[in-house]
Amino acid sequence: MCGKWGWLAGLFLSCLIALVDQITKLAVVEYLSTSDVIEVIPGFFNLILTYNPGVAFGLMADLEWAYRQIFLTLTAVIAVGIVFYFFFFEYRRDPWARASLASIFGGALGNIIDRVRLGEVIDFLDFYLGSYHWPAFNVADSAICIGVVVLIFRVPRKSGA
């Protein structure tokens, strides 16, 4: 993804992630209601339908709607600016880092589309062990997390005494 086509490959990956995210969310909304639970792997993984008005893991879900929208909009604008800065300047010669940033952007775009359309994000992947449930998430959240993890391993490390 380096060179003059690097931004185009990043844009393609971002759009692909956002598209897959939106298609999976539309399918879940079409086939599930919020009371449905489809057991995929017994004792480990279900498909559910839930709406998250907050941010990651439901944080800020109780905040008044107007304040939450202002906060989320500002956060999204700042995050997109940071991702673009790193994509075009800091990691312009690192295809793995650029793919990671494109994944982060694509995931953010998928969730932003939900927020604009619905005022909340659709989540449907429910992993659990016993009575412990990881907060439900979606394809966009997965792309963001994978992008962040890969990017962490791409960050140059300083050696020294």
53: tokens are: 């008005």
Structure tokens at 136: 């439900």
Distance CA 67, CA 132 (A): 31
Assigned token pair, 17: 């992630």
Burial of 21 (0-12, 13-18, 19+ CB in 10 A): buried
3 state DSSP class of 38: strand
Q: Count the helices and strands in the chain (H runs, E runs).
A: 4, 4
47: number of Cβ within 10 Å: 17
Q: Which residues are catalytic?
A: 123, 141
CA 34 to centroid of chain Cα atoms: 21
